[in-house]
Amino acid sequence: MLNELKQKALKEIQGAKDLKTLEELYRQFLGRKGELTAVLRSLKDLPEKERREKGKLANQIKLELENIFNQKKSEIRNLKSEVQDGWIDITAPGILPALGHFHPITKIRQQAEEIFQSMGFTVAEGPEAETEYYNFDALNTPPEHPARDMTDTFWLKNKKLLLRTHTSPVQIRYMESHNPPLRIIAPGRVFRHEATDASHDVQFYQIEGLMIDKDVSAAHFRGILQEFFKRFFGPEIKIRLRPSYFPFVEPGFEIDIKRGKGDWLELMGAGMVHPNVLKAVKYNPNLWQGFAFGMGLDRLAMIKYKIDDIRLFYSGDLRFLKQF
């Protein structure tokens, strides 16, 4: 009977979910009017031998149950305090994973590449140290051409090379090694020998574009460009074409953009590829035609991120870089 009582008590104690139930169970079994207390009280009526045996067992069970009660009690208390007292300040800062930052020109460049690639343009590259032929002659800019003085060029000692003044040499290199029709863009670093200020630096990035086919017109150029600027700046962007001059295109355009109520911003030089350029790469200008354009990625980034000094791009200043 005592063992049955013990099993019953154990089962119920283990099942207790809160302190109140546990208190009640204690009273039920071990309280002054509890079941086990009653058993202990009834012992005095038993014969000596039986009383001693049963008494020992009952006391043992009483101790055991008390231990279990206490154990259970602290178990329930702990559980409760973990839920109630384990409060943390969720407004305290999180532990930051180490994450670096893309250079803003990389971001602009990737975005531009992505848009043009989705329109079927392949990304091409070329050397930064160029020959006069690729930088000038092949681009319809022979030695006596005044445009050659217009762009201020860095020359390399003893090398007969120069630092390319634009990404246009990539047009020539690509056309020399590929047959038309083709569509490419060529992002890259270019150099100008000039005094630096907030909007000029000795180096900057350009993205060149070239599309050659049998029937590519200025209207197609406008279509591609409009699509690009819409995706890059948003659907409200306006673009306009006005006359300009570059030796390697004819007709030549300047492309301005306008965002919202802002001013027109000059952004890109472009035009229809000059027949002399096509001849230089041995394309038949009576069969093939197309457009080419070049724009400054630094300028694009400055407009997009409202950066007011081009030199920040090349400063390596983490206070600047961290913002991208």
Partner 1 sequence: MKVSYNWLQSFFIGKLPTPEKLVEVLTMHSFEVERTEKKGSDWILDIDVLPNRTHDCLSHIGVAREIAVIIGDRPLGRDNSLPKGRTPLKEDKSQKIKDFLEVKVQDKNLCPRYCARVITDIKVAPSPKWLKERLEAIGQKSINNIVDATNYVMFETGQPLHAFDFDKVEKGIVVRRAKKGEQITTLENEKYELDQDILVISDIREPLAIAGIKGGKKAEISQNTKNIILESANFSPINIRQTSKKLGLRTESSIRFEQGFDPNLASEAIDRLAGLIQEIGGGKVIQGMIDIYPKKIKPKTIKLEIEKAKRLLGIDVSIKEIKNILEELGFELRVTNYALRITIPTRRMDITLPEDLIEEIGRVYGYEKIPAQLPTAVLILPERNESLFYENRIREILIGVGFSEVYNYSFISEKQVMGEQISDLIEVENPVSQEQRYLRPNLILNLLKNVKDNSRFFNEIKLFEIGKVFEKEEIKRAAGIFALKNKPKEAQEFYSLKGVVDSLLNKLRISDIWYSDQISDSRFRILDLFHQGRRAEIKVGEDSLGWLGEINPEVLKGLGIESRAAGFEIDFEKLVKLATEEREYLPPSKYPAVVRDIAILVEPAAKVEEVLNLIETAGGALVQDVDLFDIYEGEEIGEAKKNLAFHIIYQADDHTLTNEEIEKIHNKIVSVLENEGGWEVRK
**What residues between 127 and 166 interact with partner 1 by CB under 8 A?**
127-129, 144, 146-147, 149-150, 154-159, 163
* Residue 252 sits in the site that holds partner 1 (CB under 8 A): yes
Site string for partner 1, 82-101 (x = CB under 8 A): ---------------xxxxx
Nearer to partner 1, 21 or 276 (CB): 276
Q: How far is CA 165 from CA 85, 130, 147, 196, 268, in A?
A: 68, 9, 12, 15, 15
Q: How far is CA 322 from CA 108, 140, 309, 319, in A?
A: 16, 43, 16, 6
Q: Is 250 annotated as a binding residue?
A: yes
CB of 282 to partner 1, least distance (A): 18
- Inter-residue contact 280 to 174 (CB < 8 Å): no
Nearer to partner 1, 92 or 195 (CB): 195
* Residue 65 sits in the site that holds partner 1 (CB under 8 A): no
With a CB cutoff of 8 Å and minimum separation 6, the contacts of 118 are none
Nearest-angstrom CA–CA distance, 300 and 101 = 19
φ/ψ of 157, rounded to 5, equals -65, 140
* Residue 263 sits in the site that holds partner 1 (CB under 8 A): no
* Residue 244 sits in the site that holds partner 1 (CB under 8 A): yes
CB of 217 to partner 1, least distance (A): 3
- Inter-residue contact 259 to 302 (CB < 8 Å): no
Nearest-angstrom CA–CA distance, 223 and 197 = 34
* Residue 122 sits in the site that holds partner 1 (CB under 8 A): yes
Site string for partner 1, 180-219 (x = CB under 8 A): -xxx-----x-x-xxxx-----xx-------x-x-xxxxx
Per CB under 8 A, the list member of 47, 94, 235, 243 interacting with partner 1 is: 243
- Inter-residue contact 217 to 211 (CB < 8 Å): no
Per CB under 8 A, the list member of 68, 254, 304, 309 interacting with partner 1 is: 254
* Residue 313 sits in the site that holds partner 1 (CB under 8 A): yes
* Residue 79 sits in the site that holds partner 1 (CB under 8 A): no
DSSP 197: B
Beta bridge partners of 191: 203
Residue 294's nearest CA partner among 239, 237, 254, 235 is 254
**Which residue ranges make up the annotated binding site for Mg(2+)?**
250
